[in-house]
């Protein structure tokens, strides 16, 4: 079965490595256009393997389609694809296209699904391999695998420790099912669908009047990107490593209750949060205690805005 792989980042690279490693015939690779000063691991691996590699500015361009057709693909494998492919490419191969998504569809459609599962307080999530159509994360489901969200997971740890390896193995298994002619097409129950927008600084601002557990979920769900945002005396900064302090009481929301070597104890409703690492605008990440000394932040001051 002639496979065209479309992917980016380390996930696309690992998917390509595994498919080739189990003997699949990958006849072409599509990945993102060049960005000056940034390595593309998918492209680098494909070139080492001698696989034709394409980086079109638009997947909808006529010349892109012409190059694609010359590969005579039997299946598209979409491993970390952030753009919507035209139907002409999705439906062209004999076996169609399959795509990886890091949630249990139809829940958490969209490009920040890992983060929103944590922000919403979910305790379980997973990955889905599905047959994409012209919609956003729509199309029948081929395979799903569940994963636990631990109380202290960040978006980064959940992705790299569980969803990344689950997704790679599920893609390999799915290709095998397609070859055997036993790959299912289970309709998504759209009555259960949820969709969240991409996370940006605008929807990652900390509201210290919220319960501490919700503040903590926002912080860990936006770690490592884009970071949860708060401020002090006109200085905006992003919060990364943190710890939930359910027994922190007294004071006003956003009030700094203590400053220790470990970080800043900041109060919220129904508890508090220990902030360990921050990043001021235009600066690298730094310890929260050092940041407090740098900007004159003291016990009794309030964060917010």
- Enumerate domains of the chain plus CATH numbers: 2-192 (3.40.50.170), 201-295 (3.10.25.10)
Q: Distance (Å, rounded) from C-alpha 204 to C-alpha 37? A: 28
The pLDDT of residue 21 is 98
The answer, yes or no, to whether residue 305 has pLDDT greater than 80, is no
Q: How confident is the model at residue 268 (pLDDT cuts 50, 70, 90)?
A: very high
The percent of residues in the chain predicted with pLDDT above 90, rounded, is 94
pLDDT tens for each residue of 109-166: 999 999 999 999 999 999 999 999 989 999 999 999 999 999 999 999 999 999 999 9
The pLDDT of residue 146 is 98
The answer, yes or no, to whether residue 18 has pLDDT greater than 80, is yes
**Predicted TM-score (pTM) of this structure:** 0.95
- Edge-to-edge, what's the strand order for the sheet holding 124-130? 53-54, 25-30, 2-7, 75-79, 97-101, 124-130, 141-148
CB 125 within 8 A of CB 146: yes
Q: How confident is the model at residue 205 (pLDDT cuts 50, 70, 90)?
A: very high
The answer, yes or no, to whether residue 207 has pLDDT greater than 90, is yes
Taking all residues of the chain, what is their mean pLDDT, rounded to a whole number? 96
Q: How confident is the model at residue 16 (pLDDT cuts 50, 70, 90)?
A: very high
**Interval 53-75 mean pLDDT:** 97
**Interval 95-104 mean pLDDT:** 98
* 268 alpha-carbon distance from chain centroid: 27
């Amino acid at each position: 079965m002639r496979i065209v792989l479309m992917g980016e980042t380390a996930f696309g690279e690992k998917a390509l490595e595994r498919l080739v490693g189990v003997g699949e015939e990958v006849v072409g690779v599509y990945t993102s256009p060049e960005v000056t000063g940034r390595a593309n691991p998918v492209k680098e691996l494909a070139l080492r393997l001698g696989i034709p590699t394409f980086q079109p500015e638009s997947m909808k361009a006529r010349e892109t389609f012409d190059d694609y057709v010359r590969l005579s693909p039997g299946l598209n494998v979409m491993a970390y694809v952030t753009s919507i492919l035209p139907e002409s490419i999705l439906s062209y191969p004999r076996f169609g296209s399959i795509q990886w998504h890091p949630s249990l569809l139809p829940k958490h459609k969209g490009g920040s699904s890992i983060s929103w599962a944590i922000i919403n307080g979910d305790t379980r999530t997973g990955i889905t391999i599905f047959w994409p159509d012209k919609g956003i994360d729509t199309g029948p489901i081929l395979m799903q695998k569940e994963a636990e969200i631990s109380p202290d997971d960040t978006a980064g740890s959940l992705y790299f420790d569980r969803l990344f390896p689950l997704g790679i193995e599920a893609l390999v298994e799915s290709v095998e099912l397609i070859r055997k002619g036993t790959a299912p097409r289970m309709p998504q129950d759209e009555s259960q669908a949820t969709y969240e927008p991409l996370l940006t600084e605008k929807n990652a601002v900390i509201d210290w009047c919220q319960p501490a557990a919700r503040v903590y979920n926002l912080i860990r769900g936006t770690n490592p990107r884009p970071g949860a945002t708060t401020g002090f005396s006109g200085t905006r900064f992003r919060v990364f490593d943190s710890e939930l302090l359910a027994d922190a009481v007294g004071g006003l929301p956003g009030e700094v209750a203590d400053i220790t070597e470990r970080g800043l104890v900041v109060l919220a409703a129904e508890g508090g949060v220990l902030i360990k690492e921050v990043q001021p605008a235009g600066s690298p990440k730094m310890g929260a205690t050092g940041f407090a000394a740098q900007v004159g932040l003291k016990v009794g001051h309030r964060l917010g805005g």
